[in-house]
A and B are shown apart, each in its own frame.
Chain A
Amino acid sequence: MATPYYIPESKVPLPPKGAEVIDTVCDYCVVACGYKVYRWPVIAASGGPSKEENAFGVDFPVDPLGPWVAPNQHNIVLHNGQPHHVVIIPDKDIKSVNLNGDSSLRGGCIAQKCYNPQTPTRDRLKTPLLRMYGTLMPVSWDFALDIAAEVGRYVIEKHGPLAYGVKMYSYQFIENTYAITKFALRHINTANFTFHDTPSDVTSTPGFRDAGFDNFGPSYEDWRDAETLFICGTDPYETKTILFTQWIMPGIQRGQKTIFLLPRRTAGVAYAEKNGGMWIDVTPGTDLVVMMAIARVIVENDWQDKEWIAKFVNNKWESNSGFGQGTRNTPWQWRTTWGLFQTDGFEDWKKWLLAQPEFEVEKAAAIAQIDPQKIRTAAEWMAKPRPDGTRPKTSLMIEKGGYWSNNTGNTNALAALGIICGAGGRPGQVVARAGGHQRGGLRGGKYPRNKSPMKVPGRRRRALDTDTWLLAGHTRFAHAIGCTWIQSMAGSQAIAKRFDELVVANPHQIRSFDKQEIIDTLKARADSGGMVVINQDIYLVDPIGNRYADIVFPAATWGEDTFMRANGERRLRLYNRFYDPPGVAKPDWWIVAQLAKRMGFDGFDWRDTNEVAEEAARFSRGSRKDFFMIKVAAQREGKTLHQKLAEFGTDGIQGPVFMRDDGTLVGTKRLHDTTRELPETGPAGANVFNKKLMRFNSQTGKCNLQKAPWSLFSDYWEWMKPKGDELWITSGRINERWQSGFDDRRRPYVVQRWPENWVEIHPEDAAARGIESGDYVMLYSDRIPSVKETLLGVYADDYRFSGLMKNGYIELSKAAVTAVAIVTPAIKKGVLYMDFLHTQQPANALEGRVVDWISGNYNYKIGVGRIKKVGASPYKNSFRSMSFAPRDIA
């Protein structure tokens, strides 16, 4: 871990003329800015300050926005076994994404990510590890792989595929996700499978899916070109910086009215407010009533976009069209069958909307604890026609603060509000997620939902809740790939306790040097009801790797192999290898291929990452990041897929990618583009030109205008709502830190800024508890709800929180985390806000482990608990580390 006492450098080597220049893209947030790596051997002379002497061709000092090199943008790596300087700075010539070569702090300092034993990255995993006699010891690849594969195969044969659980990242490059899902879904065919951020393999935005919206339809320019932009549950400045600084900020400068719906005011919110925007300081979990109240004001004033609705909203017949499909063609058909969501079109929806008392402005404002005038103002900005009859171009964005507060309800509400504003299918008028991770998922197999023992009332199976399944003791072999698993899930301390019981407390522990005895020990553990854990990662993660894994495989990552990935506007780029992985670390596709071959699966004989990509290409067909035609073009031109994609540089090409008649490739600016004009002929051949390109993802290609009932969620919200001196506890990202901090914990400057987890508390709440900025506080609760059984729903309310409670399926437990207090009026009174994923002080411990009863996602952002002072932290009265200044200075 890095020391928090950071001493800045005062000079930096410059890349010389002739330094190699390699294209890459940032590894972190969904925006995915283009970068250039300048590489030169340490034995060569570095560059000089005149333009003749450096690789940038500019004189130093450089101009503002110029190719300056901060000391944190330089590192020394091994390339082909030889030490090389690397300078990694945002691409100053890029034509898209990070215009002007802009960057965030996260990506800006990505050179610090590279393994260098002289920096805190020195603890990268370098060899496979096997836990023998209680200690993780280095072993060879063959030794570790033979054991893992033999035990894994045994567990599948003896206990069935559902005993083999796979928990993986959804994003860490197309080649890896393809290979892992091919292994887990196509070959093992387990339903005990999910991604890093959800207990079940389900969509993040059920409401979008039902309405017909793709999560990532827009181009970044649409967020700029909106005249009114409604943002639910995120400040993009904090979490996807360049989307704000290069796209939304220029929009605001041109007069965009930006509305933020979230309980916390940060720099982007402050900037918008200062420039005519609005902050709706919503109480956690109540976004739905605010959005529906805005919708109600719109329809009461008859401001809805009538032309759009007439043309692009399904009527009753259309909703039911197809082979019994329409809106019912969803993974949760059972609910729509009962008419909870489905409508007969706009008039029917309007009737429902007006009949809900909680959507009256004053009542909604009382629930959300906001100024009711803000609801009316939002409605005017979003939908009120101008005197000349033209309408404001309105776009709507949602991210985790919104869709992880009331997953189904908020996504339904936002989709419906967007549709009546005429948003969703035109330039500057879009509805989408802002995005979290980059889009690097590609499935090499289909999730076997019918194997899931979980069934909702009605006919449908439901994707397995892997956490509940594990807690119930059914997972005998847990395979975790590139995620913390435990701290990233809700009620995380209860999950950790179960790992302790199933893994550490099990009597079958490796106390042998003999491979067969080791295998037999782990088999005996699985047979005895315990669990074997294997973990692939770049660092030893605590506790999944450090405390629980029997075998740890060292993964090679960004910059250490060549990969493909798309961003939040579906832009596909090549992430080039530019240095050697540490030790014998290998990319995840290679690791699962070795396991798969040993387990007897075929089709894992790839020689390099391009071969994986070429095999994966056809599985992308028809998807938002369809790159199949890039492969077709590559083959025609005698190139590899990676070589062909590299030609597009840091600007890449937006999926889906099509081939014109002349063989050239063309990308797709936006999905659902109803204004797109097609040429007379084409696209033809192997191109897949499907409905979502110009219409929406429904049977008819029109949107479904759906109900968003508050009552389906309010039982949980009312139960969670703070009682006595409790406060809401919500969480999210902080700008300077990415995810679990796996890289940031090893960046001395970021550690100096954020040495540990913290909690924002309103001055009145703080004063009432004697808490000051810099105090250590304890956040705790004795009523963390947790679902304790794998469920078979029979009656309508079996899955609802009140139904679960009534039937005894909810268990209450205690949890506590410490943090450093930051007293600030930028957080709403009655609400606490923490960084969501410090592995040592995990905020999710205080979130209810109860899945959204419609979708199966956790509603992570509406925890509750108490807070008390523990004493002063070292940061309170020293000047070296942290800052307690407000983050919303405008």
Chain B
Amino acid sequence: MTTVYRNPGLDLERGTAGGEHAPCAMSRRHFLLTSGATTFTTMVVLNAGTALAQKAPARVAVFERKFIARLSELEVDVPVDFTYPDEGAYAESMLVKLGVPAGGGIGPDRDVVAFNYTCTHQGGPLQETYRGATKSLGPCPLHLSTYDLTRHGILISGQAYQSLPQVLLELEGDEIYAVGIFGLIFGRYDNLKG
């Protein structure tokens, strides 16, 4: 059994999951639905097996689990760049320790989040636009959209059709893994078909 810090919300789902619903699959699919302000640190057996993969939609079932960074090496407001879920177009993403709790944040302070770097309006690059003062990405150089990283990448101001895709993280010991994405990445018609 491994200690895993997951995105919050698992508590609720463990409580409601009957025999038919496997908690791990639900946790990803209902990530946004269930994440609240209160920190849950839950011990869960990471048991994503074939039975679960069948129940969960494709978008969460088959993401690669990828090592991104060590929690102990993160500095507040200093983004770490990585690619996810593959090496294809628009896979560039960022992970950042915000220093304040955030929706979907992991770690003891619930402040480590990760997002795709491509603006979900018209595909502008958001690299180099992180602002520590506002915990935001943007303005996009194309049409000025900005995103709130404390609130699941919701649009602060601008024209994007949806939130910035949030990379679902897991913490295992000191190691942070990317395990899924919520929201369609710009340019793609399916996150897994880059």
Q: Which of B123-154 contact A (CB under 8 A)?
A: 123-125, 131, 134-136, 138-139, 142-144, 146, 148, 150-152, 154
- Asked whether B23 is an interface residue with its Cβ less than 8 Å from the other chain, the reply is no
| Stretch from B29-37, B46-54, B70-78, B169-177 forming part of the interface with A | B29-37
User: Does B143 lie within 8 Å of A883, measured CB to CB?
Assistant: no
User: CA A8 – CA B154 in complex, angstroms?
Assistant: 11
Residues of A within 8 A of B138 (CB): 889
User: Does B161 lie within 8 Å of A70, measured CB to CB?
Assistant: yes
- Asked whether B163 is an interface residue with its Cβ less than 8 Å from the other chain, the reply is yes
Residues of A within 8 A of B35 (CB): 879-880
- Asked whether B160 is an interface residue with its Cβ less than 8 Å from the other chain, the reply is yes
Fill in one digit per residue for A98-114: 1 if any B CB lies within 8 Å of its CB, else 0: 00101111001100000
Residues of B within 8 A of A241 (CB): 143, 159
- Asked whether B3 is an interface residue with its Cβ less than 8 Å from the other chain, the reply is no
User: CA A11 – CA B193 in complex, angstroms?
Assistant: 10
Contact of A65 among B60, B123, B134, B181 (CB under 8 A): B123
User: Does B191 lie within 8 Å of A10, measured CB to CB?
Assistant: yes
User: CA A877 – CA B131 in complex, angstroms?
Assistant: 21
User: CA A66 – CA B187 in complex, angstroms?
Assistant: 8
Min CB–CB distance B138 → chain A (angstroms): 7
Residues of A within 8 A of B157 (CB): 238, 266-267, 735, 887-889
- Asked whether A757 is an interface residue with its Cβ less than 8 Å from the other chain, the reply is no
Q: Which residue of A lies closest to B89 (CB)?
A: A61
Whether A890 contacts B139 in the complex (CB less than 8 A), given A11-B184, A108-B159, comes out as yes
**Number of cross-chain contacts by CB at 8 Å:** 174
Min CB–CB distance A235 → chain B (angstroms): 10
Interface magnitude class on chain B: 35 or more
- Asked whether B107 is an interface residue with its Cβ less than 8 Å from the other chain, the reply is no
- Asked whether B186 is an interface residue with its Cβ less than 8 Å from the other chain, the reply is yes
Residues of A within 8 A of B134 (CB): 885-886, 889
Whether A245 contacts B159 in the complex (CB less than 8 A), given A7-B30, A877-B37, comes out as yes
Min CB–CB distance B180 → chain A (angstroms): 9
- Asked whether A860 is an interface residue with its Cβ less than 8 Å from the other chain, the reply is no
Residues of A within 8 A of B160 (CB): 105
- Asked whether A404 is an interface residue with its Cβ less than 8 Å from the other chain, the reply is no
Fill in one digit per residue for A128-139: 1 if any B CB lies within 8 Å of its CB, else 0: 000000000000
Q: Which residue of A lies closest to B137 (CB)?
A: A889
- Asked whether B104 is an interface residue with its Cβ less than 8 Å from the other chain, the reply is yes
User: CA A880 – CA B30 in complex, angstroms?
Assistant: 12
Whether A889 contacts B183 in the complex (CB less than 8 A), given A11-B189, A60-B188, A267-B144, comes out as no
Q: Which of A407-456 contact B (CB under 8 A)?
A: none
Q: Which of A41-91 contact B (CB under 8 A)?
A: 49, 60-66, 68-73
User: CA A8 – CA B30 in complex, angstroms?
Assistant: 10
Q: Which residue of B lies closest to A70 (CB)?
A: B161
Fill in one digit per residue for A638-649: 1 if any B CB lies within 8 Å of its CB, else 0: 000000000000
User: Does A879 lie within 8 Å of B139, measured CB to CB?
Assistant: no
Contact of A8 among B125, B148, B163 (CB under 8 A): B163
Q: Which residue of A lies closest to B191 (CB)?
A: A10
- Asked whether A717 is an interface residue with its Cβ less than 8 Å from the other chain, the reply is no
Max count, chain A CB within 10 A of own CB: residue among B58, B125, B148, B165 = B148
User: Does A880 lie within 8 Å of B103, measured CB to CB?
Assistant: yes
User: CA A63 – CA B191 in complex, angstroms?
Assistant: 15
Q: Which residue of B lies closest to A103 (CB)?
A: B159
User: CA A457 – CA B183 in complex, angstroms?
Assistant: 63
User: CA A8 – CA B58 in complex, angstroms?
Assistant: 14
Min CB–CB distance A36 → chain B (angstroms): 16
Residues of A within 8 A of B120 (CB): 70
Residues of B within 8 A of A238 (CB): 157
Whether A879 contacts B121 in the complex (CB less than 8 A), given A10-B184, A102-B143, comes out as no
User: CA A141 – CA B60 in complex, angstroms?
Assistant: 49
Residues of A within 8 A of B152 (CB): 879-880
Whether A889 contacts B156 in the complex (CB less than 8 A), given A62-B187, A102-B122, A879-B102, comes out as yes
Q: Which of A840-890 contact B (CB under 8 A)?
A: 877-883, 885-890
Q: Which residue of A lies closest to B188 (CB)?
A: A61
Max count, chain A CB within 10 A of own CB: residue among B138, B155, B161 = B161
Min CB–CB distance B55 → chain A (angstroms): 16
- Asked whether A6 is an interface residue with its Cβ less than 8 Å from the other chain, the reply is yes
Q: Which of A1-39 contact B (CB under 8 A)?
A: 5-14
User: CA A560 – CA B155 in complex, angstroms?
Assistant: 31
User: Does B161 lie within 8 Å of A109, measured CB to CB?
Assistant: yes
User: Does A878 lie within 8 Å of B144, measured CB to CB?
Assistant: no
Q: Which residue of A lies closest to B193 (CB)?
A: A49
Whether A8 contacts B182 in the complex (CB less than 8 A), given A49-B189, A64-B123, A65-B123, comes out as yes
- Asked whether A198 is an interface residue with its Cβ less than 8 Å from the other chain, the reply is no
Q: Which residue of B lies closest to A69 (CB)?
A: B189
Min CB–CB distance A820 → chain B (angstroms): 14
User: Does B33 lie within 8 Å of A5, measured CB to CB?
Assistant: yes
User: Does B37 lie within 8 Å of A63, measured CB to CB?
Assistant: no
- Asked whether A170 is an interface residue with its Cβ less than 8 Å from the other chain, the reply is no
User: CA A69 – CA B143 in complex, angstroms?
Assistant: 18
User: Does A885 lie within 8 Å of B158, measured CB to CB?
Assistant: no
- Asked whether A753 is an interface residue with its Cβ less than 8 Å from the other chain, the reply is yes
Whether A66 contacts B123 in the complex (CB less than 8 A), given A8-B183, A11-B189, A753-B155, comes out as yes
- Asked whether A765 is an interface residue with its Cβ less than 8 Å from the other chain, the reply is no
Residues of A within 8 A of B88 (CB): 61
Min CB–CB distance B29 → chain A (angstroms): 8
User: Does B162 lie within 8 Å of A71, measured CB to CB?
Assistant: yes
Contact of A108 among B58, B161, B165 (CB under 8 A): B161
User: CA A477 – CA B125 in complex, angstroms?
Assistant: 56
User: Does A61 lie within 8 Å of B194, measured CB to CB?
Assistant: yes
Min CB–CB distance B155 → chain A (angstroms): 6
Contact of B32 among A7, A268, A735 (CB under 8 A): A7
Min CB–CB distance A105 → chain B (angstroms): 5
Min CB–CB distance A448 → chain B (angstroms): 44
The 27 sampled A-B contact pairs (Cβ below 8 Å) are A10-B191, A60-B189, A61-B187, A62-B187, A64-B123, A64-B142, A66-B123, A70-B161, A70-B162, A108-B121, A271-B139, A271-B144, A735-B158, A736-B155, A749-B161, A749-B162, A878-B36, A879-B36, A879-B103, A879-B150, A880-B36, A883-B148, A883-B150, A883-B155, A885-B156, A889-B134, A889-B146
- Given A102-B122, A880-B36: 20 more A-B contacts, CB < 8 Å: A5-B32, A6-B32, A8-B163, A10-B190, A11-B184, A49-B189, A49-B193, A60-B187, A267-B157, A267-B158, A877-B37, A878-B36, A879-B150, A881-B151, A885-B136, A888-B157, A889-B134, A889-B139, A889-B146, A889-B156
- Closest 6 A/B residue pairs (Cβ): A879-B103, A64-B123, A10-B59, A61-B187, A70-B161, A8-B183
